Chains A and B, each alone.
Chain A
Amino acid sequence: KAGVTQTPRYLIKTRGQQVTLSCSPISGHRSVSWYQQTPGQGLQFLFEYFSETQRNKGNFPGRFSGRQFSNSRSEMNVSTLELGDSALYLCASSQESGTLSEQYFGPGTRLTVT
């Protein structure tokens, strides 16, 4: 079974621009969560989508948004990029939503904002 895929793998953007990242979950998985990883803050939860609905949201500004499609694929958008948005963005999929679900990570998208 194929793992979680993310595109693109690397991105370089300029401050003020916007960016869209894509995530395809493991086949049969209906929940997709997004995380930001930086050396200073570690891994932080952005949001979770399940059945095209946002289930949970972390403490990030409204510039960070996402959505999920009927095939469970998910996209994350960051508008008005700031230098501090440079990070590894990871998505993770699980079969179901909830506290007992095991989450499997994709390879990540490395975003650099200049």
Chain B
Amino acid sequence: QKEVEQNSGPLSVPEGAIASLNCTYSDRVSQSFFWYRQYSGKSPELIMSIYSNGDKEDGRFTAQLNKASQYVSLLIRDSQPSDSATYLCAVNDYKLSFGAGTTVTVRA
């Protein structure tokens, strides 16, 4: 079983809609979780970090963490064409373990 799994894409959403990205992880003792955005041909960019159960909001992004269910998600509200990218979920257990990524396309 892979350490970090993300919902398979690609995910296509209309402009202005909510994009919902999901991620599960296998290690119960994991403490820190991150979402990175990677545009084609570019390196990953950190967009959210979350350490405690519940929601964390930053602009149009909301990360949700449920440690009991070993689940972390990312919501992108009011999706824009510039949000079209691959989103990577990562768990830090003294190293970052990444999911395979979910490619999001926001159609105008």
Residues of chain A whose beta carbon lies under 8 Å from any beta carbon of chain B: 33, 35, 42-45, 48, 55-56, 58, 88, 90, 92, 97-108
**Residues of chain B contacted by A88 (CB below 8 angstroms):** 43
If A107-B42, A108-B43 touch, whether A42 touches B51 (CB-CB below 8 Å) is no
Q: What is the bound-complex CA distance between A97 and B92, given in angstroms? A: 11
**Residues of chain B contacted by A98 (CB below 8 angstroms):** 94
Q: How many A-B residue pairs have CB under 8 A?
A: 56
A105: min CB distance to chain B, Å: 4
Q: What is the bound-complex CA distance between A88 and B99, given in angstroms? A: 17
Q: What is the bound-complex CA distance between A108 and B39, given in angstroms? A: 13
Contact A105 B95 (CB under 8 A): no
Contact A103 B97 (CB under 8 A): no
Interface set, chain B 16-74, CB cutoff 8 A to A = 30-32, 34, 36, 42-46, 49, 51
Please, what's the 1-or-0 string for B93-107, where 1 marks a CB less than 8 Å from any CB in chain A?
Answer: 111111111000000
Contact B95 A45 (CB under 8 A): yes
A42 partner, pick from B32, B95, B101, beta carbons under 8 A? B101
Contact A105 B43 (CB under 8 A): yes
Q: Which residue among A42, A58, A107 has the maximum number of chain B CB atoms within 10 Å of its CB?
A: A42
Residue of B nearest to A91 (CB): B43
Contact A105 B44 (CB under 8 A): yes
If A42-B100, A100-B31, A100-B51 touch, whether A58 touches B46 (CB-CB below 8 Å) is no
Contact A104 B46 (CB under 8 A): yes
Residue of A nearest to B36 (CB): A105
B43 partner, pick from A42, A48, A102, A107, beta carbons under 8 A? A107
